[in-house]
Chains A and B, each alone.
Chain A
Amino acid sequence: MSSTPLHDPLAEPVSGAKTETYTTTCYMCACRCGIRVHLRDGEVRYIDGNPAHPLNKGVICAKGSSGIMKQYSPARLAQPLLRKPGAERGAGDFEAISWEQAFALLAERLGKIRATDPKKFALFTGRDQMQALTGLFARQFGTPNYAAHGGFCSVNMAAGMIYTIGGSFWEFGGPDLERARMFIMIGTAEDHHSNPLKIAIAKFKRNGGKFISINPVRTGYSAIADEWVPIKPGTDGALLLALIHEIIAMGLYDREFLARYTNAGELVNLDAVHDEFGMFVRSEVPKEEGCFDPQNKLWWDRVSDRPVITHAEGADPYLFGEFKLADGTPVKPAFQLLQERVRDYTPDWAAEITGIPAATIHRLAYEMGVTARDQKVVLPISWTDSWGKEHDTVTGNPVAFHAMRGLAAHSNGFHTIRALAILMSLLGTIDRPGGFRHKAPFPRPIPPCAKTPDTPLAIRPNTPLDGMPLGWPAEPDDLFVHEDGSPVRIDKAFSWEHPLAVHGLMHNVITNAWRGDPYPIDTLLIFMANMAWNSTMNTVEVRKMLNDKDAQGAHKIPFLVVCDAFESEMTSFADLILPDTTYLERYDVMSMLDRPISEFDGPVDAIRVPIFPPKGECKPFQEVLVELGSRLKLPAFVKKDGTRKFRDYPDFIVNYETEPGSGIGFLSGWRGKNGEKSLSGEPNPRQLEMYAANNCIHHYELPLSYQYMRNWNKGYLEWSQRNRITRYADPIQIHLYSEVLQSFRLAAQGKGISRKPPEHLRKRVETFFDPLPFYYEPLESQATDRHKYPLAAITQRPMAMYHSWDSQNAWLRQIHAHNYLFVNPGTAKAAGIADGGWMWIESQWGKVRCMCRYSEAVEPETVWTWNAIGKSAGAWNLAPNANESQLGFLLNPVISEELPASNGGTQSNSDPITGQAAWFDVRVRIYPVKPGEPEQTSPQFEPMKPYPGTRPFLGDWLAYFAGSKK
């Protein structure tokens, strides 16, 4: 229709430009996809998914595609900054200093702390992926006060499942949607497994599987579910227990699987006066050295009708019944106890609580049970189980589940997740095709072997901590407490308040440190966490705490160091800001020692490589730690003579070994002198190059016979032991019934010889450490007048935003410039709130003014919003009148980090077992604004100012074009 175009659409826009392509690993979120970064004349032309990467297979998400705008963001920090003398914290008055000054200042301050009381230094990290290094640094420093984001993120998920099946969702395992016929996704919005899950769900749907989403809200993945089951927040425990009830009542469980691979048939001591009450009875097999439950429990054999050692040749346990041992001890199989536990958890009972019709619950149970039983996947893969029995096939019951923070972020989440893991086990779906599959280094013994010290004596001046700062308690004696049972750690993790707080309780650190409870600290180093904003509960008060002073005018938290890459809300409260690089400017390691990116078929770890030099004076935090470690002469970082051991972080990655000569380092690929070894082997000086040449990953594919049933797969377990992934090769029986929990309950009941909880926590420990899952209303709910605050308020991850990171991203912020509170139209109209109108959302802790959006895709007793879109004015170098701070809002000011405790004090607003932050427990009410109220979010904070070295963006226009202009 037209003559030759003047503008040739096919011509290279820049002729003769120099183009380069690098592969590395994305870090626009925690998913860690493989990417290709394409440069034109030295600038990013585009970033796309690496087709050769096992995780994302070439696809990329909205965030990953916007990496350019992160790299060139005007919100990036550029120099170390020191708070100006006399300036208030939060006011953002800084002066630039040199790195030498920063290091000198830190080395002096930290050196003094280390020489006197190392626990006065606390290191807490947010959404980072380098806990291998930060954890090592803390331990070497000698402080117990270290944790990463897990406690405020999804520790319930990790702990609830690992304490039950030895593995978990999160980065540790997932649903095998390749083979599943039915997929039930519970409380998941976007997840750490973002792209892979999207790929898998689509494939699953196209293969005709049925996808069910259980969620109060229908967005994102749930949008394409075949069935949406709206549920009231915090009530999934009731639903799952009712499903278990139905599955057992109808005989829809996989009996063979339960008998052989779980503790269903193991006999529990029911002699109420016995010190071992509620523990498994054991035969006289000598107790093995170590942390792992030995295979010395008993079954009541159906064949011989007498107790036998489990898995005795030819034996088959009764799963139901009531028996008496020869010495008169009454015993029952664990499964019998489970059945008794769920007896009253009927669908009708659950319908009341969850809002899901009983008929739906029945149907869901039947669909799961029948699909698992009748659509078996049988793979011709032979393997040998831990008891030497050879199997010709691997059988799968193709019902897969996935769950995340919708279950985890409630104070009853641990038991809910235990119930889920048990349901999955009843259906016989653990590490089997079409069910749940582990990812190396999981499965691990229940609980995993790593332990914290159990005494404050482990903390000594100028000495590394004697034990790990984080670990997996197996019994009360593993707790990290004082003689009197009081906490050793600043966050009170591993204390009687939160015994299984395996990821720490980051959300309480600031409050505890401010209050000096259990003790004041000196220096708090926060890395990659926006604790003055979105990762803190009670944001308004916490911001005050950060700047609060004692009678002498000294800050209650004396020294605050923040390492960030951007002008976040947190940085404004820092005394010292350490400017970090971006993911395109540094080496990073997704290590087997932390959370690798393993696949179902074997371990995978990965690195990031720098594509650009650091911006300005930015320095990778890892370099900072290596430097500080060397200056402080932490043993792992210096040679015998006290001189520096590692030139820099790459040198550290390659040459660090967990113990001299252990052959285990941060990376598992291309080890050995010439890179010929995998998993372990001596350091290889060319290791990073080899990774870089291989798409920055090392993928070790297990032989097929090691890929399934890994909890009990002799070949796999021995392989894993040989390669030092685990210390033990014993089978990992599923804990339907948890002895670990019972051991804490016994202590609370005053039984046995272990440590006992302090009086005021006895009742709590006794109640919550139930060896079988039970349902209770979330703690905050129990402490709320439900008539006054009738609604649940929750948040969701938007797919195109990562927490608070992306408001500085010119492209992503156009998609989510501000947020609304989504309310069911019925609920909103009843409250007199218009669609698009201004309103208040109020809890007993605080209130926020925001805008309302009607939505039919939310359960009527729930309101929700996208997480962390709202920003403080001026933060992230946005204009003070930007939508994010004027129209957008953060829900966190209505969430409290503490609840009233039974002793009149306070306790963390967390799961009483794991210390998981109970983000989604808050109860609220909503009402319209009064006429004349400003159309602006409340609360508002003093606008932040641009820092030295950060340039505000000039002009109204951004017209990004890579390389020299046309």
Chain B
Amino acid sequence: MRPAFSVIFLTTLIGAGQGLFLALYTGQLYAFFDLLPAQDSRSYYAAGSVLALAFLCAGLIASFFHLGHPERAWRAAAQWRASWLSREVIALPAFMGMVLLYGCAHWFCWHAPLFELPGGRAVDPTLILGALATLLGFALFGCTAMVYASLRFLQEWHTPLTVINYTLLGGASGFVLAAAFSALAAPQLSGFHAGWAMILTLLALAGRTASLLRNARLKPKSSVRTAIGIKHPRIAQIAQGAMGGSFNTREFFHGRSTAFMRAIKPAFLILAFFVPLALLAGGMTAPFLLPVAFILQYAGLLAERWFFFAEANHPQNHYYRKVS
């Protein structure tokens, strides 16, 4: 497939936004159970929510660049019963709305307890809103990933690993972002976030490696033989009826050399996983490394996402090998 930058930015930005929110909320939960010091609602949670929203908005804006008719984007919510894309289109604003509410709740200090837990802990609206947003955040990870994972023809994507990895990668980048954010806004939390970020990054590395190994061993289900329905060991395309290119040659081929493809794989692995891991570790003591870790990891994730798209072989490509 040809990676579209709009989609690369969409998925990586909202992934980071979702992860950041989850990190914030995890922090709040820990604090709720007194495992971490509580933070200021306004300067930490509200500000953090704004930051998460900023990423989500940027992602949303990026997605519009993908559309031929952005003015009709609202129509995309129509098919939630069948289409993962439609579901994503619903889940994203829903999640954003919930994060907004969550941020507002903190900003306006809606701390009036709603009820109490058996242990005597008072549950306030921020916690409820946060829980709802968390559900939506996971739903959004699921929807986004399922947009790709549900396409059974794209065998590289058609695996639970896609959902797992979208979640883990988004989570990891969000937690790294949270660590960086905390380094500024709540230095006591940065170690906590950095720690989780390392765990998530390691898990994501495992997940991504698993999918790389899986994909390297994939047996394409389709071949030029099934594509044209002729069973012969030697079939070669000669012409495709369009020499100046077509939608099919533009949309489904990344157009890069195999050398480039071979180089980008270690590049994103180093950038998205190993370098951030090192920086996160360093960040424990030198917090200024944490923003660097995020920036580099995000760059790595852009490359990872590019590769994710590029790596997928669409069966239609059997019809578009050669011109003459």
Taking Cβ atoms with an 8 Å cutoff, the residues of A that contact B are 1, 814-820, 822, 836, 853-857, 883
Question: Are A883 and B243 closer than 8 Å at their CB atoms?
Answer: yes
Instruction: Tell me which residues across on chain B come within 8 A of A1, comparing CB atoms.
Output: 82
Q: How far is the CA of A814 from the CA of B236 in the complex (A)?
A: 21
Q: How far is the CA of A287 from the CA of B238 in the complex (A)?
A: 61
Q: Does chain A have a CB within 8 A of B214?
A: no
Instruction: Tell me which residues across on chain B come within 8 A of A854, comparing CB atoms.
Output: 236
Query: A822's contact among B236, B244, B324, by CB below 8 Å, is which?
Result: B324
Q: Does chain A have a CB within 8 A of B322?
A: yes
Instruction: Tell me which residues across on chain B come within 8 A of A816, comparing CB atoms.
Output: 243
Interface centre among B82, B236, B242, B243, by most chain A C-beta atoms within 10 angstroms, is B243
Q: How far is the CA of A854 from the CA of B236 in the complex (A)?
A: 9
Q: How far is the CA of A855 from the CA of B324 in the complex (A)?
A: 10
**Residues of chain B in range 105-132 having any CB-CB distance to chain A below 8 Å:** none
Query: B243's contact among A817, A822, A836, A855, by CB below 8 Å, is which?
Result: A817
From residue A272, how far is it (CB to closest CB) to chain B in Å?
Answer: 57
From residue B322, how far is it (CB to closest CB) to chain A in Å?
Answer: 7
Q: 7 tightest CB-CB pairs across the interface, nearest first?
A: A817-B243, A853-B324, A820-B324, A817-B244, A814-B242, A814-B244, A815-B241
Q: How far is the CA of A817 from the CA of B242 in the complex (A)?
A: 8
Question: Are A815 and B324 closer than 8 Å at their CB atoms?
Answer: no
From residue A530, how far is it (CB to closest CB) to chain B in Å?
Answer: 22
Instruction: Tell me which residues across on chain B come within 8 A of A822, comparing CB atoms.
Output: 324
**Whose C-beta in chain B lies nearest to the C-beta of A853?**
B324
Q: Mark B216-260, 1 if CB is under 8 A from A, else 0.
A: 000000000000000000101010011110000000000000000
A-B contact pairs, 25 of them (CB 8 A): A1-B82, A814-B242, A814-B243, A814-B244, A815-B241, A815-B242, A815-B243, A816-B243, A817-B243, A817-B244, A818-B243, A819-B324, A820-B324, A822-B324, A836-B322, A853-B238, A853-B322, A853-B324, A854-B236, A855-B238, A856-B234, A856-B236, A857-B238, A883-B243, A883-B244
Instruction: Tell me which residues across on chain A come within 8 A of B241, comparing CB atoms.
Output: 815
The A contact surface, by secondary structure, is: loop
From residue B234, how far is it (CB to closest CB) to chain A in Å?
Answer: 8
**Whose C-beta in chain B lies nearest to the C-beta of A836?**
B322
Instruction: Tell me which residues across on chain A come within 8 A of B234, comparing CB atoms.
Output: 856
Q: How far is the CA of A560 from the CA of B322 in the complex (A)?
A: 43
Q: How far is the CA of A836 from the CA of B238 in the complex (A)?
A: 11
Instruction: Tell me which residues across on chain A come within 8 A of B236, comparing CB atoms.
Output: 854, 856
Q: Apart from A815-B242, A818-B243, what are 5 other A-B pairs with CB-CB below 8 Å?
A: A815-B241, A817-B244, A853-B324, A883-B243, A883-B244
Instruction: Tell me which residues across on chain B come within 8 A of A818, comparing CB atoms.
Output: 243
Instruction: Tell me which residues across on chain A come within 8 A of B82, comparing CB atoms.
Output: 1
The B contact surface, by secondary structure, is: loop
From residue A572, how far is it (CB to closest CB) to chain B in Å?
Answer: 25
From residue B163, how far is it (CB to closest CB) to chain A in Å?
Answer: 25
From residue B205, how far is it (CB to closest CB) to chain A in Å?
Answer: 39
Instruction: Tell me which residues across on chain A come within 8 A of B243, comparing CB atoms.
Output: 814-818, 883
From residue B112, how far is it (CB to closest CB) to chain A in Å?
Answer: 45
**Whose C-beta in chain A lies nearest to the C-beta of B246?**
A814
Q: How far is the CA of A856 from the CA of B324 in the complex (A)?
A: 14
From residue B104, how far is it (CB to closest CB) to chain A in Å?
Answer: 36
**Whose C-beta in chain A lies nearest to the C-beta of B240?**
A815
Q: How far is the CA of A601 from the CA of B242 in the complex (A)?
A: 40
**Whose C-beta in chain B lies nearest to the C-beta of A888?**
B243
Q: How far is the CA of A561 from the CA of B315 in the complex (A)?
A: 55
Instruction: Tell me which residues across on chain A come within 8 A of B322, comparing CB atoms.
Output: 836, 853
Q: How far is the CA of A1 from the CA of B243 in the complex (A)?
A: 36
Instruction: Tell me which residues across on chain B come within 8 A of A820, comparing CB atoms.
Output: 324
Instruction: Tell me which residues across on chain B come within 8 A of A855, comparing CB atoms.
Output: 238
Q: Mark B303-324, 1 if CB is under 8 A from A, else 0.
A: 0000000000000000000101
**Whose C-beta in chain B lies nearest to the C-beta of A819?**
B324
Q: How far is the CA of A818 from the CA of B242 in the complex (A)?
A: 10
Q: How far is the CA of A558 from the CA of B119 in the complex (A)?
A: 110
From residue B282, how far is it (CB to closest CB) to chain A in Å?
Answer: 48
Q: How far is the CA of A855 from the CA of B234 in the complex (A)?
A: 12
Q: How far is the CA of A244 from the CA of B324 in the complex (A)?
A: 39
Q: Mark B73-113, 1 if CB is under 8 A from A, else 0.
A: 00000000010000000000000000000000000000000
Q: Mark B153-179, 1 if CB is under 8 A from A, else 0.
A: 000000000000000000000000000
From residue A27, how far is it (CB to closest CB) to chain B in Å?
Answer: 24
Q: How far is the CA of A857 from the CA of B243 in the complex (A)?
A: 20
**Whose C-beta in chain B lies nearest to the C-beta of A857?**
B238
Q: How far is the CA of A836 from the CA of B242 in the complex (A)?
A: 16
Q: How far is the CA of A822 from the CA of B234 in the complex (A)?
A: 18
Interface centre among B234, B238, B324, by most chain A C-beta atoms within 10 angstroms, is B324
From residue A824, how far is it (CB to closest CB) to chain B in Å?
Answer: 12
**Whose C-beta in chain A lies nearest to the C-beta of B82?**
A1
Q: How far is the CA of A818 from the CA of B241 in the complex (A)?
A: 12
From residue B232, how far is it (CB to closest CB) to chain A in Å?
Answer: 11
Instruction: Tell me which residues across on chain A come within 8 A of B324, comparing CB atoms.
Output: 819-820, 822, 853
Q: How far is the CA of A820 from the CA of B238 in the complex (A)?
A: 11
Q: How far is the CA of A815 from the CA of B324 in the complex (A)?
A: 9
Q: How far is the CA of A814 from the CA of B247 in the complex (A)?
A: 13
Instruction: Tell me which residues across on chain B come within 8 A of A814, comparing CB atoms.
Output: 242-244
Q: How far is the CA of A628 from the CA of B167 in the complex (A)?
A: 83
From residue B76, how far is it (CB to closest CB) to chain A in Å?
Answer: 13
